[in-house]
Amino acid sequence: MAQPDPYAPPAERAAALRAEIARLDHAYYVLDTPLVPDADYDALFRELQAIEAAHPELRTADSPTQRVGGAPLPQFVPVRHAVPMLSIQTETDTTPQGASAFDQRVRNKLGLSADDPPVLYNAELKFDGLAINLRYEHGVLVQAATRGDGETGEDVTQNVRTIRSVPLQLRAPKPPAVLEVRGEALMQRAEFERYNDRQRAKGLPTLVNPRNGAAGSIRQLDPAIAAQRPLAFYAYGWGEIQGWSDQPDTHHAMLDAFEALGLPVAPQRAHGPGAQTLIRFHADIAAARDSLPFDIDGVVYKVDSLALQRELGFRNREPVWAVAHKYPAQERSTRVLAIDIQVGRTGKLTPVAKLEPVFVGGVTVTNATLHNEDEVRRKDVRVGDMVVVRRAGDVIPEVVSVLLDQRPADVGEPFDLYKQLGGHCPVCGSGIVREEGEADWRCTGGLFCAAQRKQAILHYASRRAMDIEGLGEKLVDQLVDGGIVHTLPDLYRLGLMKLAALDRMADKSAGNLLAALERSKAATLPRFIYALGIRHVGEATAKELARHFGSLDGLMNASLEQLQAVPDIGPIVALSLRTFFDQPHNREVVEQLRACGVRWDESAPADATAPKPLTGKTFVLTGTLPSISREDAKERIEAAGGKVAGAVSKKTDYVVAGAEAGSKLAKAQELGVAVIDEAALMALLAHG
C-alpha cells in the first residue's frame, strides 16, 4: 500500500490521510490485524487533525477525527449504545509537562485563577486491550458489547461470560435497575506467553501481542475458542445508569463502589489535588510499568468531581475533563538494513537486526535482537523488510513482526545463519555447532575466541576451578580491555609493575594476586578439566573423566566411543568434549598452560571392573576437619566411589563430624547414623 505523499497540497494530503487511517482502522478494529504500531497511527492521526485545524473547510463528516473509528462485524448482532462510548484526547507531550498542560486547560475552562484552590483529579492506567461495555439489569449481566464506532458496537455477551473476573451478578442487596460498566478486556503477559507456548508445542499459529490476543478472543464467533484464551477485565467508567439512589458524586468513589459490587478495578490509581498528583502518578507508573502483569501505553487523568465533569462537557466528541497521557512509544516500525551475528560471552551466536534509526521507548534504536535462527525464520525477517520494533524499559529492543504488506520486491533471501557465516565464528574463525534440540548456534573456540575471553578467564579463576583469589570481574575487565591478557596463559605472565599500574591496584594487591596465581599452578586434574569451561562438563563430570582416563592426554585423545564408556557420559557430552579438543587453538592453550607451570598428579586409567572402597556408601560432612578441607574430603570420597550428600537421612551411612559440628550431627544421633572423625574417614578411604 502506497503511503500518503507528505508534500501533496493540503486537500490531497488530507484525503490520502483519511483513506490510510480508514484502512488501518478497518484492519485494527474489524479484522483484529494491526498493520502498524500505535505510535505510527497516532502520528498520522495528529497530522490530519492539524490539517483540519488549519483548513476547517477540509473537515468532512466522515473524517476519522469526527468519530471513534471501526465498524461492527456483520456476523455479530449490532448493539446501539444508550450512551455513546467515546474516545478521549491524547496529550502528545510525553514529559511531566503534559500533566501540567492538562491541568492548566481545565483551570482555564473553569475560569480559575492562580489563587483559586487546586482541582481534584483521579489518575488511572491506560490499558492496551479492547474496550467493553457490560450492561447489568437489577444486578444481572444481560449484555456485553464492544465499542465499535462509538455509537454501535457488537454483542459479544457469550464470549465475555468466559472471562472469570467478570461477575455474572453484582454483589449488592439492591443493585441499580440499570448499570452499564465500561472497561478493558485484556490478556495478561503471563497468560499470553503460556498460550503461545501451548500453540508452539502443537505447531499452531501464535499471537502477535497481548492486545491482539484479547481482541481476537472477544470477537471469536465460537465462545469455546474464546474460553481457551484466558482474559482479564478492569472497569474504569460507566454508561447508562438508572435507579442508583446513593450513586457517588466523584469518579474515584464510583470506582470504589464498583469494587464493592464485585467488579475488578486496577489497584494502580490515585486521586488528589492539582498537577503534582498527576505528575507523581505518571512517574510512579513509568517506573513500575515493566513489572505490571499487563501492557499499558500510558495513564489517564480525569477531573474527579462528576459535577465539574458535567460543567466541562465535551469538545469534538471528546471529554474536556479527561486526557490520555502516553509514555514514549515502545513499538515503532522501521527498515532492516542488515542482519549481523553477535558472539556472546558463552559463545552463543545471536542474529541482530541493523535498523534505520527509529525513536522508540524514549531512545533512538539502531539494533534489535532476533534471538536465534528459528525465531528469524518463524517471523521470516529479511534484509530490506519493514518491521515492528519493541522496546520495554531496559530490555534489549527486539523485532516483533514483519509488515508483509510493505515488503519490497527485491527483499533479501530467507535467513540462514550457517550459510551467512560459512560455518565459522565471525570473531575467531572457529567452527560453529548447533546441538540436537538446541535453538542456538555456538562458537567452539571457548579458550581462544576474543568474544568469550572474559567469561573464560572468570570461569578458570572461580573458586571451584583454579581458585585464583582476587581475580574478579572488574580486574578481568581491565586486563582484557587494556589488551594485557588475551588468553589464559597470559595470566601467568603478569608482572608486579604491570598489575600495580592498573586502576585501584596497589603493590600489595598486585603481590597477593601474583601469589594466588602461583598457588593455582598446583592443581588437580578434575579442577583443571572443569576450569577449561567445556560445554556440558561440570564438576562431577570432570571428576569422572579424570578418574576414568587418569591423564589429560588420555582424555584429549579419546574417541567418541571411549568417552561414552565413562559413567554418565552420553553422546551430547562426548561430542562436546571431542569438538573442544579437536580445535587446534584449544590444544595450544592447554600446552601453553602446562609450559607456564600449571601441573597436576596423574594416574593410570581406572579399571572399571576394580572394586572401590566406598562404592555404594553415602556420606554427609559437617564442621571443620583438622587437616583437610571439606571440599578435599568430598573429592577423596567421590574418587573412592562414595557419594556426598547435603542432608542427613535414614539412607546416610556415615556423618563425618569436625569441630563445631551443627544440626547435621544432632540429626545423625537422632536417626542412629554412624558418626566418624577425620581419622576414621582416612581409614575407610584406605581400606573400605
Cell of 485: 591478557
Phi, psi of 352, deg, nearest 5 = -130, 130
Nearest CA to 681 out of 645, 646, 633, 644 is that of: 633
Q: Are 541 and 517 in contact (CB under 8 A)?
A: no
> Catalytic: which of 109, 126, 348, 521?
126
- Radius of gyration in angstroms for the set of CA atoms belonging to the chain, rounded to a whole number: 34
Distance (Å, whole) CA 304 – CA 158? 34
Neighbours of 116 (CB within 10 A): 10
Provide the sign of the torsion angle of the four alpha carbons 142, 148, 151, 152, taken in this order.
negative
Phi, psi of 454, deg, nearest 5 = -65, -45
* DSSP state letter for 498: H
Q: Are 341 and 421 in contact (CB under 8 A)?
A: yes
Q: Are 80 and 126 in contact (CB under 8 A)?
A: no
Distance (Å, whole) CA 106 – CA 100? 10
Strand partners, 270: 123
> Does the active-site annotation cover 126?
yes
Strand partners, 618: 643
Residues in the chain: 688
**What are the E-state strand segments in 318-362?**
318-319, 322-326, 331-343, 348-360
Q: Which residue has the cell 579458550?
A: 447
Distance (Å, whole) CA 339 – CA 393? 24
Q: Are 433 and 579 in contact (CB under 8 A)?
A: yes
Active site (catalytic) residues: 126
